[in-house]
A and B are shown apart, each in its own frame.
Chain A
Amino acid sequence: MNPLTQPVTVSHYLIVGAILFVAGVVCMATKRNALGVLMGIELVLNGANINFIAFGSSYLRERNLGLDGQLMALFVIVLAAAEAAVALAIALNFYNNHATIDVDHADDLRG
Chain B
Amino acid sequence: MMLLGAIDWHSFFFFVFALLAAGFALGVVFTSNIVHMAFYLTLSLGATAGLFFLAGAEFVGAMQFMIYVGGTLVLLIFGVMLTAQSRFVHMKTSAGEWVLAAAVGSTLLVLLLHAAISNKSWTTGREHRDTLTIADAQHVTALGQSLSGVRPDSLEEPSPAARRGMSGYLLPFEIASIHLLVVLIGASYLARAKKRVSSSKS
B145's nearest neighbour on chain A, judged by CB, is A67
- Answer whether A102 and B93 are a contact pair too, CB < 8 Å, given A4-B8, A11-B116, A79-B179: no
Pair B126/A54 contact, Cβ less than 8 Å: no
Say which residue of B45, B126, B197, B202 sits within 8 Å of A60 (CB atoms): B126
- Answer whether A58 and B197 are a contact pair too, CB < 8 Å, given A19-B26, A90-B190, A101-B88: no
What does the 1/0 interface line of B1-28 toward A look like (CB < 8 Å)? 0100011101110110010011001101
What does the 1/0 interface line of A1-33 toward B look like (CB < 8 Å)? 011111111111111111111111111011111
In this complex, the interface size class of chain B, counting residues with CB under 8 Å from chain A, is 35 or more
Q: How far is the CB of A104 from chain B (nearest CB, A)?
A: 9
Pair A43/B28 contact, Cβ less than 8 Å: yes
In this complex, the interface size class of chain A, counting residues with CB under 8 Å from chain B, is 35 or more
Pair A19/B8 contact, Cβ less than 8 Å: no
- Answer whether A8 and B72 are a contact pair too, CB < 8 Å, given A50-B51, A53-B57, A97-B197: no
Of residues 14 through 70 on chain A, the ones whose CB sits less than 8 Å from some CB of chain B are: 14-27, 29-36, 38-40, 42-43, 46, 49-50, 53-54, 56-62, 66-70
Q: How far is the CB of B20 from chain A (nearest CB, A)?
A: 10
Chain A residues within an 8 Å CB radius of B142? 67
B53's nearest neighbour on chain A, judged by CB, is A53
Chain A interface residues toward B at CB < 8 A: 2-27, 29-36, 38-40, 42-43, 46, 49-50, 53-54, 56-62, 66-71, 73-75, 77-86, 88-93, 95-102, 105
